Structure 1
Amino acid sequence: MDDAWWDSLADALGAIAIVPSSRVAVRQEYLDRAMPQFLGFPVDTTVPVWTTAHGDLHWANLTGPTLSVLDWEGWGTAPAGYDAALLHAYSLLVPTTAAEIRLRLGHILDSPSGCFAELVVITELLQTTTRGENLDLEAPLRSRLRHLIDRF
């Protein structure tokens, strides 16, 4: 993707985040239960900042060379940075792509709320591995989790 595509993605994530919504993409009650269970260490599960999110941002829901964001049925409130964290997590199997996301969306991911959003996404995806899904992501997710633990 070229610079214009990445700029469009960053702009889209910013625009989505400020849309008022009573819809919910991620529930605090889920985080209270699942984060301690799947992260394996005690963590304050209180979401620092809620914003609106697409809720299912991965490569199958993005087009190029001109950006379009598809598949909107899961949108709603989520921890700030959730969409960027989800796209990053789904890219961990392609380290150059994951690094590009960190470069282009680092202003989101490297913030305290972005780091928390990464923990949320890791929780969700590790839970899917217990159902036999995303098994190839388990090791990279655990590696990323070890890196994030130092920030909490």
Structure 2
Amino acid sequence: MDWEDWGAAPRGYDAATLWGFSLGVPAVADRIRSEFEQDLETRAGRISRLLFCANVLRAYARSGKSMPFTEPARRAAEGLIEVLGEG
């Protein structure tokens, strides 16, 4: 991960990036989500998580190369779309 831009995006984006890259290890992703709950459960945090997932899925669509977090990102995106649609 590249830490040089940490803190430069909307609140929740940095934590969402950390969460997203950890999706291949569910226990770690759950821990990050718990530790950064105040950021990740805001509307901006949910949108940031969805953006991460969209970027992963776009990269997969272009390259065909799956990463350990590709399928978990797809599932997470579906849930985030549902939650964001309710609000």
Q: Same fold (TM over 0.5)?
A: yes
What letter matches 1:109 in structure 2? L
Q: Does 1:149 align with 2:81?
A: yes
| Contact persistence 2:22–2:69 (CA under 8 A) | no
In the alignment, the residues of structure 2 paired with residue 81 and residue 88 of structure 1 have an alpha-carbon distance, to the nearest angstrom, of: 10
Q: Which has the higher contact order (CA 8 A, sep 6+)?
A: 2
TM-aligned CA deviation for residue 123 of structure 1: 1.4
Given the alignment of the two structures, is residue 92 of structure 1 paired with residue 23 of structure 2, yes or no? yes
Bigger Cα displacement from structure 2, 126-135 vs 87-96 = 126-135
- Residue 34 of structure 2 corresponds to residue 116 of structure 1: no
Matched pairs, number: 82
List runs of 5+ in structure 1 lacking aligned partners. Answer: 1-57, 62-70
- Return the alpha-carbon distance in structure 1 between the equivalents of residues 65 and 45 of structure 2: 24
Distance 1:97 1:150, change over 3 A: same
Whole-Å Cα distance in 1 between the matches of residues 75 and 29 of structure 2?
Answer: 13
> Conserved in 2, the CA contact under 8 Å of 1:125 and 1:134?
no
Show the counterpart of 2:67: 135
Superposition RMSD on alpha carbons, in Å?
A: 1.9
Q: Give structure 1 regions of 4+ aligned residues with deviation exceeding 4 angstroms.
A: none
Normalized per residue, the structure richer in strand is 1
Q: Choose from 9, 13, 16 the match for 1:78.
A: 9
Cα deviation, residue 132, structure 1: 3.6
| Preserved CA contact (<8 Å) 1:81 1:108 | yes
**Taking structure 1 as the reference length, what is the TM-score of the superposition?**
0.48
Q: Post-superposition shift, 1:151?
A: 1.5
**Following TM superposition, by how much is the alpha carbon of 1:78 offset from its aligned partner in structure 2, in angstroms?**
2.8
Computing the radius of gyration over CA atoms, which structure comes out larger, 1 or 2?
Answer: 1
For 1:123 and 1:112, the matched residues in 2 are separated by: 16
Identical aligned residues as a percent: 30
**TM-score, normalised by the number of residues in structure 2:** 0.79
